[in-house]
């Protein structure tokens, strides 16, 4: 979606980076305090570590990915405007094969520093942004109908399950990672389906989704903090089971984002609300 809504003619790298970096720093502080409240002496050290490695919370890595893709937008535009535009779609698969699949199959682990770089790199996620940019700016047209796409989507999900079991057999417990070859296929088809739905003449306006979308940035940063706090409540985990707990987390996070925006006004952007 970020790629779909981007255009090199409106590229303002300073404005875009400022929009995410300030909330990133503030939310890093919040998460570090939240997770290390019982050990206040380690908070400064953990903050610096989390700030530069995106490890304050599971969602923070994407800020690095977003910033990298934002900086690369002119390069992406030149690539997709050239006769070699389809080469952009092989960047993520190549990264997954070389940096993740081969080490896994060979039984070798990458060193911890390279692992940090990989976790913050945009290369594994490049296909999604590149596809969004290509579709949103009219560089490619998808003529496949919805029925065929949906069938292909289910087929790729089946392959995802198989690949996940294979990863598990190889000793990789994170077998549900989205950085698998089959996941790239599933995600690509899903993006195309959403794009065709949005721009279809028969698309239906869903106001609830629009409202959630308006607050999605704040929800993205805050939802893990909200889930952590909710999990501390007595009997919460036994009452709010999946998927109820997910719905509760989204609603509470949305409510807090809404209230925060009303109270903070123009300063709410510092918290991405």
The answer to whether residues 134 and 218 belong to one domain is no
Is 8 in contact with 77 (CB distance < 8 Å)? yes
Is 32 in contact with 56 (CB distance < 8 Å)? yes
CA distances from 4 to 80, 92, 166, 192, 194 (A): 13, 18, 33, 11, 11
Min mean pLDDT across 52-66, 82-96, 243-257 is at 243-257
The answer to whether residues 51 and 125 belong to one domain is yes
Task: Tell me the residue range of the domain where 165 lies.
Answer: 142-203
CB crowding 176-210: b at 16 or more within 10 Å, else e:
eeebbbbbbbbbbbebbbebbeeeeeeeeeeeeee
The answer to whether residues 79 and 191 belong to one domain is no
The answer to whether residues 19 and 90 belong to one domain is yes
- Please count the structural domains in the chain: 3
pLDDT one-digit tens code per residue, 66-90: 999 999 999 999 999 888 889 999 9
Of the residues 88, 119, 141, which one is the last residue of a structural domain? 141
Q: What is the pLDDT of residue 142?
A: 84
Is 132 in contact with 1 (CB distance < 8 Å)? yes
Enter the pTM of the model. Answer: 0.84
Rounded-to-integer distance, Cα 166 and Cα 179, Å: 14
The answer to whether residues 47 and 120 belong to one domain is yes
Taking residue 222's Cβ as centre, other Cβ atoms within 10 Å add up to: 27
pLDDT at 26 over 90: yes
The answer to whether residues 103 and 46 belong to one domain is yes
pLDDT one-digit tens code per residue, 188-244: 999 888 888 877 766 666 677 777 778 888 888 998 998 888 888 777 777 777 777
Q: What is the pLDDT of residue 198?
A: 76
The answer to whether residues 73 and 108 belong to one domain is yes
- Residue labelled with tokens 């890093």: 28
The answer to whether residues 119 and 79 belong to one domain is yes
Of the residues 187, 203, 219, which one is the last residue of a structural domain? 203
Of the residues 118, 141, 164, which one is the last residue of a structural domain? 141
The answer to whether residues 24 and 102 belong to one domain is yes
Q: Could you tell me which residue, 134 or 2, shows the higher pLDDT?
A: 134
Q: What is the pLDDT of residue 38?
A: 86
DSSP state letter for 99: I
The answer to whether residues 18 and 103 belong to one domain is yes
The answer to whether residues 95 and 170 belong to one domain is no
Element (H, E) at 216: helix 216-231
Taking residue 273's Cβ as centre, other Cβ atoms within 10 Å add up to: 22
Rounded-to-integer distance, Cα 186 and Cα 178, Å: 9
134 contact partners, CB below 8 Å, separation of at least 6: 3, 80, 85, 88, 140
Q: Can you read off the two tokens belonging to residue 103?
A: 């080490």
Rounded-to-integer distance, Cα 193 and Cα 36, Å: 42
The answer to whether residues 16 and 112 belong to one domain is yes
């Amino acid at each position: 979606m970020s790629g779909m809504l981007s255009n090199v003619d409106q590229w303002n790298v300073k404005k875009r980076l400022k929009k995410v970096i300030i909330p990133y720093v503030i939310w890093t502080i919040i998460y570090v305090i939240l997770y290390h409240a019982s050990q206040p002496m380690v908070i400064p050290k953990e903050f610096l570590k989390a700030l530069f490695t995106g490890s304050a919370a599971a969602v923070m890595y994407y800020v690095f990915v977003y910033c990298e893709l934002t900086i690369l937008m002119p390069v992406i535009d030149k690539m997709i405007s050239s006769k070699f535009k389809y080469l952009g779609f092989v960047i993520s698969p190549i990264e997954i094969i070389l940096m993740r699949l081969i080490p896994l199959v060979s039984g070798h682990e990458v060193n911890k520093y390279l692992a940090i770089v990989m976790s913050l790199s945009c290369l594994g996620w490049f296909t999604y942004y590149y596809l969004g940019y290509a579709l949103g700016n009219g560089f490619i047209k998808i003529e496949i109908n919805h029925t065929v796409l949906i069938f292909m989507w289910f087929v790729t999900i089946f392959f995802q399950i198989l690949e996940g079991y294979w990863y598990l057999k190889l000793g990789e417990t994170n077998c549900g990672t989205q950085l698998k070859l089959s996941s790239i296929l599933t995600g690509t088809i899903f993006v195309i389906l959403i794009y065709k739905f949005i721009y279809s003449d028969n698309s239906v306006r869903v106001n609830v989704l629009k409202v959630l979308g308006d607050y999605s940035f704040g929800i993205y940063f805050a939802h893990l903090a909200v889930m952590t706090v909710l999990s501390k409540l007595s009997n919460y985990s036994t009452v709010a089971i999946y998927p109820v707990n997910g719905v509760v987390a989204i609603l509470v996070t949305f409510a807090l984002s809404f209230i925060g925006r009303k109270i903070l006004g123009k300063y709410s952007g510092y918290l991405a609300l």
